């Protein structure tokens, strides 16, 4: 992937008022690959990435980067640990915008962001063709911009369809 344009930390305009702090959160695998494809939308802002494996840092050199414990719906006892990690990151970064491509850690991040008054974006994965992901279906009320990548899953009350990661 050409990361030469991945310069989200650069402030292009001289007007700092328009620079937003973005917290971009995803799990590994496809969720991360999808998030990487959204990077051009963050240009001109200050983006901090959060994922579950430090090896992904190589994809986002030059950006702030944190990892949290990976969790799924199956290991509920560890949820709290991830939630505390995300809380710390949100308090430290103070993002204007929290965006996630899933899965559960991203869901928590969006909910925490909402609690702290951030504007929130959920981009449900391309993999969810027949129905939204479990997180994606439940995040509707907390996501200010709630997107599906499949037109047939869009509804008048959300989620909205606005294109795909490809």
Partner 1 sequence: MIFVTVGAQMPFNRLIRAVDAWAGRTGRQDLFAQIGSGEYKPKHMKWTRFIKPGKFRQLFQDADAIVAHAGTGTILTALELGKPILVMPRRGDLQETRNDHQVATAKRFEEQGRVAVAYDEHSLILKLDELACLKPSNRIGTQASPELLERLRTFINSV
State the residues that interact with partner 1 by CB under 8 A.
1-2, 18, 20, 22, 28-34, 36-42, 45, 53, 55-56, 58-59, 96-97, 99, 119, 121, 123, 125-130, 144-145, 147, 149, 162-166
* Best CA proximity match to 91, nearest among 78, 109, 64, 79: 109
Smallest distance, partner 1 to C-beta of residue 139, A: 15
Residue closer to partner 1, measured from CB, 72 or 91: 72
In this structure, what token pair is assigned to residue 112?
């925490």
CB 96 → partner 1: shortest distance, Å?
Answer: 5
Q: Which helix (DSSP H) or strand (DSSP E) does residue 33 occupy?
A: helix 30-36
Minimum CB separation of residue 125 from partner 1 in Å reads: 6
Q: How far is the CB of 126 from partner 1 (least distance, A)?
A: 5
Q: Which is nearer to partner 1, 67 or 84 (CB)?
A: 67
For 163: left if phi > 0, alpha if psi spans -120 to 50, otherwise beta; the answer is: left
Taking phi over 0 as left and psi of -120 to 50 as alpha, with beta for the rest, 146 belongs to beta
For the bound state, the minimum distance from the C-beta of residue 92 to partner 1, rounded and expressed in Å, comes to 19
Closer to partner 1 by Cβ: residue 28 or 158: 28
| Smaller CB separation from partner 1, 28 or 87 | 28
**CA 39/CA 60 separation, integer angstroms:** 9
The encoded tokens of residue 20 equal 């937003």
Of 44 and 84, nearer to partner 1 (C-beta) is 44
Q: Are 26 and 61 in contact (CB under 8 A)?
A: no
């Amino acid at each position: 992937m050409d990361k030469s344009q991945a310069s989200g930390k650069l402030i292009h305009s001289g007007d700092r008022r328009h620079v937003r702090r973005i917290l971009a959160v995803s799990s590994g695998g496809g969720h991360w690959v999808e998030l990487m494809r959204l990077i051009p939308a963050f240009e001109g802002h200050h983006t901090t990435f959060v994922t579950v494996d430090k090896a992904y840092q190589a994809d986002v050199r030059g950006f702030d980067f944190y990892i949290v414990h990976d969790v799924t719906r199956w290991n509920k006892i560890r949820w709290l640990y991830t939630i505390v990690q995300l809380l710390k990151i949100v308090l430290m970064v103070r993002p204007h915008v929290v965006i996630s491509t899933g899965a559960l850690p991203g869901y928590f991040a969006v909910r925490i962001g909402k609690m702290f008054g951030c504007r929130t974006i959920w981009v449900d994965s391309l993999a969810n063709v027949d129905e939204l992901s479990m997180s994606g279906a439940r995040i509707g009320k907390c996501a200010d911009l709630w997107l599906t990548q499949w037109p047939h899953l869009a509804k008048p009350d959300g989620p909205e369809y606005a294109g795909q990661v490809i």
